[in-house]
Amino acid sequence: MYTLVRHLGRPWATVREASTFTGSLILAEMFYKFQSFSLECMAFLATWMVLSGLMEQGQRLILKANAANQVK
């Protein structure tokens, strides 16, 4: 985990991961009741990965749209 956080580098990347972590944790606590810690942990990590990927794609789309608007 330390290596992951260290390699994020930019403060905004750390904030983005912290926000997706928090959202994933809330979703896991509310909806994941598998009666198995391992299954719930894997589902939480998968949710975190999906939310993080969605945030990354959203950021790319926004940056691409801003770049297109600046060219005009």
* pLDDT tens-digit map of 5-39: 677 777 777 788 889 999 999 999 999 999 999 99
Determine the structural domain holding residue 18 and report its residue range: 2-71
Burial letters 6-31, b for 16+ CB under 10 A, else e = eeeeeeeeeebbeebeeebeeebeee
Residue 52 has pLDDT above 80, yes or no: yes
For 47, counting Cβ atoms within 10 Å of its Cβ (0-12 exposed, 13-18 middle, 19+ buried), the class is buried
Structural domains counted in the chain: 1
